[in-house]
Amino acid sequence: MRADALKRFVPALSWLASYDRRTLPADVLAGFITAVLLVPQGMAYATLAGLPPQVGLYASILPPLIYALLGTSRTLSVGPVSVAALLVANALASSSAEAYLADALLLAAMSGVLLLMMALLRLDVLVNFISHPTLSGFTSGAALLIILSQLGNLLAISVPSTGSGLETVYKVATHLPGLDPITATLGAVGIALLLLSRRPFVSLLMRTGASESVAVLTSRAGPLVVISLLTVCVAILQLEQKGVAVVGALPQGLPSPSLDFLRLDRVADLLPAALMISLIGYVESISVAKVLAFRRRQKIDNNQELIALGASNMAAAFAGGMPVAGGFSRSTVNFSAGARTQLAGIVTAVLVALVALFFTPLFYHLPKAALGAIIVVAVASLLDWRGFVNAWRYDKADALTLLVTFGGVLLFDIEMGLLLGVIMGVGVFLWRSSRPHVAVVGRIPGTQHFRNVKRHSVETWPGLLLLRVDRSLFFANISYVDDLVAEQVADNPELKHLVIICSAMNTIDYSALEALEQLADSLHRAGISLHLAEVKGPVMDRLAHFGIEEWLSPGKVFLSAEEAVQTLKPDE
Amino acid sequence: MRADALKRFVPALSWLASYDRRTLPADVLAGFITAVLLVPQGMAYATLAGLPPQVGLYASILPPLIYALLGTSRTLSVGPVSVAALLVANALASSSAEAYLADALLLAAMSGVLLLMMALLRLDVLVNFISHPTLSGFTSGAALLIILSQLGNLLAISVPSTGSGLETVYKVATHLPGLDPITATLGAVGIALLLLSRRPFVSLLMRTGASESVAVLTSRAGPLVVISLLTVCVAILQLEQKGVAVVGALPQGLPSPSLDFLRLDRVADLLPAALMISLIGYVESISVAKVLAFRRRQKIDNNQELIALGASNMAAAFAGGMPVAGGFSRSTVNFSAGARTQLAGIVTAVLVALVALFFTPLFYHLPKAALGAIIVVAVASLLDWRGFVNAWRYDKADALTLLVTFGGVLLFDIEMGLLLGVIMGVGVFLWRSSRPHVAVVGRIPGTQHFRNVKRHSVETWPGLLLLRVDRSLFFANISYVDDLVAEQVADNPELKHLVIICSAMNTIDYSALEALEQLADSLHRAGISLHLAEVKGPVMDRLAHFGIEEWLSPGKVFLSAEEAVQTLKPDE
């Protein structure tokens, strides 16, 4: 029993205990390939967050190790991710230069604590309130913001990495004449090479006889090859003396773990941003974890994921790293490189640690434009135009939600965009739910079937109205139903009995109950009896418990529409 | 055709054209009785808003005349209402003394414009998102806040009329030793007399032989009698020289209509408060209008009500009055006094105008404590304890929503309370919708009926799983369904075919569509085919339009669960 509880809290115990040595080579290879991707990506996302490049490396060592122990996904690759990096940059726009790094670590620690609190309160359901169109609009908007923010690095003009998208476009446009042609060339070459290293390079390899999987995996080294080439190019041509910004001297070794970043007076200021980072990080991680787990019939435990990501973020802060999450593209690479267990993640972490310990001097001549190129190419795939077109074809309201979120992110800011999207998504759903289908029904002669009077030729009876409501009643649709009833009542002066057929109602909430009570009372005062028919068992239990006999009186609850008609139809 | 459009926009044309002279005496009597109630109430609510008493009278003349022309309710009594008055006081807490009145008029004008904009955009559905528990908690909280705010007037101690409820309680408690015994006595006597003028007085009258309706109507003069008695008492005993605060000299006559209050630089500051006033005013008005119309089988047009209330509020500002709405208790009095048409409202307005023109000197000695007593007794009936008890019995989550709203109003402020309540009401609904009933089903031997495997002894087939989802799929429940499917897949290693039975799905939104597409893909990669069965017509049309054949392949859409079983069950 205790061993079970321990295994639940530390899922690594399960796969470690039954580890199959035959998968060891696959895990090690996948770990290596992911590390080759992660090193340039980690440094790039750190610069995106406005942090020194090595902070991205520090976030790629301890956090994935912690995740390997606590996470339920076998293949999720935890480390810096682009959207979280953008959120960090936004949150710290007003931080002083001295406090900037400490504030970034504090953000990671706070995100960690918030994720653990969400786990404690079982709030993993919260993310369900973000609809796909909202998420798609949000991601596309954030991706475009990120690309805009990199224009400064790519063109060597001074553009703040935060602010609304329009503002950035304006600033880039006005500063464009001052761009540095050498930097711009490096950036353009970097982007071109990165793009070529994908599909075209894979096709080329395959034409030379390589299998598709080998070709794809080889292409993953693209970023590393590109930064190596550009670094060598800068070093040989001594371009940094011609004004090309380079990464420069990075500290060698790892920072001592510390809690120095803890400044309680900053907590209140950073809380909204930390909440966004934890929420968005969790959504991205859980989505990719589920997709990958499904393919191998493995399970993901939402709540355990909150714990694992929470602990990983606290570890990130402790180890001097930025906030982390499970990255979408990186995890997919890890998966398709053949990772079977989190041993691959451990291998990746160890390799990144070796880089941080011994190889940082190699990055001295690395041009910042190369990091910008990596970011731009990586996030460009997040721009989901097809998603908008599809949504538009399927459902205009959903497509509009996507557009509003996208626009909100670009025109206001990233938090406001998400908030607008969530409100609009929920609003559209409520608005639809608030207009249930209601039909006046009559009996098909010779049967006990009741159908819409508008579509079938059916029997009706003077003074008796049968209304079928095709949905559960709740606060947002009860007044719509009320209005329809009021209209019917006003249009039928001789009405005596109104029967509501409840066959499609799974629930009746308290607002609807009160409204029904009031409706019964109002109808009664107008000389009309309200009756119910075909009430489902669980709903009837609650209504009975709540004295329906009394307040519905003289109205009744009938088992079937037929029984209601037999009792209430006028004598012939 | 044009006459019809005009009648729609000016509903008064309908009832004026066909006015039945026999109802004239009833309308005049009802108008008189309502005026007797409105004069003290209007002055009281003006002081609640921190305004001079006459501003309440000005708001009771032109606005109800405009409403009489444009409104669709025959009996709604438009004028100052308590909750709107409290909102005005809150909004203007930081206004300077000189700007206070102008700001109040600006609030009325802005509320009017907002209501008209809501009408234009057909936003009357917005109020449906306020659930009954939220509204009940909000009203009770506001009533308690109002009562607390009157403790200052009633005890002659200085207590600000705004701020959180706790703050007011604390201030009253600390200032209690400084209360003025004479004022407190007047207030206590006022409250006692007002309470006695209700049930006890009605019972007394009925015991002397009066009919119930006459007795009830007579009791409506209670507030007027009480303020007359207390005024005479103060005048004779010259209590104002002993420190009792009196209303003092009120201007005689009506202010000239003016737009002097228009200060565009204040608009942004006052916008949130104006939005609240228009929203809450509309909710109160439309609720009572509907209840009363129903009893006489009359119709209320939501959108026309927005127009009528919007115009009334603009008229209020123009005529020097505070924001107005249809009052709940006042309209009920008007209705039960026998009002048949808005002619009663016109009579009321004319009578209030006469008071403002000629009789304001009578109020010189009126003690402010008497106005406080009127407010306290009027709003005490809004404290809805029974609502909470009932909600708790019927549904704990709804009761909790009520409590959170109530607490939010008292502990934070009135806007925050409403916002919390709306968020929680919507949240509870979404949370419930996010956990649909899903059953694994099998076939009852010898039939074509499929039932839950947990409740019936049914046939199942190895490698084939039938899942019935009892709800429309949308963004907030799709991941719950996804998780259930993932669990089933992980637990059934030999699974080959998964059939989702869609008989209860009225809609599938775009998020759910994408999730289904992804599910089909993930299942396919895991060697499982996804099939659908019993898809409703309209849903199928959309899915077909969206290429379901293609992305579901090799899965199929079956007409019935039986057909799916016949095709997919393993050969025996």
pLDDT digits (tens, 9 = 90+) for A54-84: 999 999 999 999 999 999 999 999 999 999 9
Main-chain phi, psi angles of B291, to 5 degrees: -60, -45
Residue-wise pLDDT for A92-104, tens only, equals: 988 898 899 999 9
Query: B522: nearest CA in chain A?
Result: A295
In chain A, residues with a C-beta closer than 8 Å to the C-beta of B302 are 483
Of B291, B294, B426, the CB nearest to A430: B426
Element (DSSP H or E) covering residue B533: strand B529-533
CA angle A397, A399, A403 (to 5 degrees): 115
pTM: 0.79
State both tokens at B71. Answer: 């409104």
A479 vs chain B: nearest CA distance in angstroms? 7
A156 vs chain B: nearest CA distance in angstroms? 40
Of B128, B296, B489, the CB nearest to A297: B489
**A293/B506 Cβ within 8 A:** no
| pLDDT for the residue B294 | 78
- Are the CB atoms for A349 and A312 separated by under 8 Å? no
A32 vs chain B: nearest CA distance in angstroms? 25
pLDDT at B161 over 70: no
Most confident of A271-275, B286-290, B501-505: A271-275
Residue-wise pLDDT for B119-129, tens only, equals: 999 888 878 88
Share of chain A above pLDDT 70, in %: 99
B69 vs chain A: nearest CA distance in angstroms? 21
**A474/B429 Cβ within 8 A:** yes
- Arithmetic mean of pLDDT, B453-461: 90
- Are the CB atoms for A515 and A482 separated by under 8 Å? yes
Query: B398: nearest CA in chain A?
Result: A510
| pLDDT for the residue A378 | 85
Token pair 């807490």: residue: B93
Report which of A551, A502, A506 is spatially closest to residue A529, judged by C-alpha positions. Answer: A551
What residues form DSSP beta bridges with A468? A439, A501
State both tokens at B566. Answer: 């016949």
| pLDDT for the residue B146 | 86
Query: B477: nearest CA in chain A?
Result: A128
pLDDT at B531 over 70: yes
| pLDDT for the residue B160 | 64
Of B125, B479, B514, the CB nearest to A128: B479
A393 vs chain B: nearest CA distance in angstroms? 8
CA distance B57 to B356: 7
Q: How confident is the model at residue A332 (pLDDT cuts 50, 70, 90)?
A: confident
| pLDDT for the residue B163 | 66
- Are the CB atoms for A340 and A25 separated by under 8 Å? no
- Arithmetic mean of pLDDT, B88-117: 93
Of B131, B399, B486, the CB nearest to A299: B486
State both tokens at B511. Answer: 């998020």
Q: What DSSP string runs through A94-113?
A: TS-TTTHHHHHHHHHHHHHH
Share of chain B above pLDDT 70, in %: 99
B135 vs chain A: nearest CA distance in angstroms? 10
CB contact set of B173 (below 8 Å; sequence gap of 6+): none
- Are the CB atoms for A132 and A165 separated by under 8 Å? no
Residue-wise pLDDT for A338-371, tens only, equals: 899 999 999 999 999 999 999 999 989 999 899 8
Report which of B414, B325, B310 is spatially closest to residue B87, judged by C-alpha positions. Answer: B414
Share of chain A above pLDDT 90, in %: 42
Of B291, B474, B509, the CB nearest to A518: B291
Of B394, B480, B510, the CB nearest to A395: B510
Q: How confident is the model at residue B572 (pLDDT cuts 50, 70, 90)?
A: low
Describe the crossing of helices B396-411 and B132-155 by its angle, rounded to 10 degrees: 30
| Between A406 and B178, the higher pLDDT residue | A406
Q: Which of A293-297, A344-348, B414-418 is predicted least confidently?
A: A293-297
A358 vs chain B: nearest CA distance in angstroms? 41
Report which of A112, A101, A103 is spatially closest to residue A55, judged by C-alpha positions. Answer: A101
Of B296, B434, B510, the CB nearest to A133: B510
Of B297, B522, B545, the CB nearest to A526: B297
CA distance A517 to A488: 18
- Are the CB atoms for B509 and A398 separated by under 8 Å? yes
Query: B479: nearest CA in chain A?
Result: A128
In chain A, residues with a C-beta closer than 8 Å to the C-beta of B476 are 128-129, 131, 429
Suggest the residue from B127, B509, B551 to mutate for an interface test with chain A (most A CBs closer than 10 A): B509
pLDDT at B183 over 70: yes
- Arithmetic mean of pLDDT, B392-416: 90
Residue-wise pLDDT for B194-231, tens only, equals: 999 888 888 998 898 888 888 887 888 888 889 899 99
Of B298, B474, B545, the CB nearest to A429: B474
pLDDT at B449 over 90: no
CA of B142: how far to CAs of A201, B5, B407, in Å? 69, 40, 10
Of A132, A513, A522, the CB nearest to B514: A132
Main-chain phi, psi angles of A133, to 5 degrees: -60, -40
pLDDT at A161 over 60: no
**A431/B125 Cβ within 8 A:** yes
Suggest the residue from B127, B131, B403, B475 to mutate for an interface test with chain A (most A CBs closer than 10 A): B475
Query: A123: nearest CA in chain B?
Result: B431
| pLDDT for the residue B532 | 95
Element (DSSP H or E) covering residue A531: strand A529-533
Q: Beta strand pairing status for A529-533 and A557-558?
A: parallel
Distance of alpha carbon A387 from the chain centroid = 15
In chain A, residues with a C-beta closer than 8 Å to the C-beta of B483 are 302
| pLDDT for the residue B178 | 81
Enumerate the H helices of A211-263 as residue ranges. Answer: 212-219, 222-237
Query: B511: nearest CA in chain A?
Result: A132
| pLDDT for the residue A72 | 93
- Are the CB atoms for B348 and B64 separated by under 8 Å? yes
Token pair 């708001």: residue: B59
Report which of B384, B294, B279, B280 is spatially closest to residue B335, judged by C-alpha positions. Answer: B294
- Are the CB atoms for B49 and B250 separated by under 8 Å? no
Suggest the residue from A393, A403, A510 to mutate for an interface test with chain B (most B CBs closer than 10 A): A510
Q: Between chain A and chain B, how many beta carbons pairs sit less than 8 Å apart?
A: 162
A523 vs chain B: nearest CA distance in angstroms? 7
pLDDT at B164 over 80: no
Query: B514: nearest CA in chain A?
Result: A132
Suggest the residue from A302, A388, A429, A472 to mutate for an interface test with chain B (most B CBs closer than 10 A): A429
CA of B66: how far to CAs of A162, B135, B323, B335, B345, in Å? 51, 28, 14, 19, 10
In chain A, residues with a C-beta closer than 8 Å to the C-beta of B486 are 290, 293-294, 299-300
pLDDT at B47 over 80: yes
Q: Tell me which amino acid residue B453 is.
A: V
Q: What DSSP string runs through A545-561?
A: HTTHHHHHTTS-EESSH
pLDDT at A486 over 90: no
What is the ipTM metric for this complex? 0.76
In chain B, residues with a C-beta closer than 8 Å to the C-beta of A437 are 506
B427 vs chain A: nearest CA distance in angstroms? 9
Query: A302: nearest CA in chain B?
Result: B483
| pLDDT for the residue A270 | 92
Report which of A176, A178, A193 is spatially closest to residue A233, judged by C-alpha positions. Answer: A193
Residue B257 DSSP code: P
Report which of B532, B572, B527, B569 is spatially closest to residue B552, judged by C-alpha positions. Answer: B532
**B129/A518 Cβ within 8 A:** no
Q: Could you check whether the bond before residue A554 is cis, i.e. omega within 30 degrees of 0?
A: yes
| Between A408 and A504, the higher pLDDT residue | A408
Q: Rg of the Cα trace of chain B?
A: 31
Residue B463 DSSP code: T
pLDDT at B401 over 80: yes
Enumerate the H helices of B92-241 as residue ranges. Answer: 100-120, 132-155, 165-175, 181-196, 199-207, 212-219, 222-237
**A526/B293 Cβ within 8 A:** no
A242 vs chain B: nearest CA distance in angstroms? 50
Indicate the average pLDDT of chain A: 89
Q: What share of chain B is helix, strand, coil (3-state, %, to 5)?
A: 65, 5, 25
A500 vs chain B: nearest CA distance in angstroms? 17
- Arithmetic mean of pLDDT, A151-156: 83
Element (DSSP H or E) covering residue B56: helix B54-58
Query: A505: nearest CA in chain B?
Result: B471
Residue B255 DSSP code: P
Query: B526: nearest CA in chain A?
Result: A295
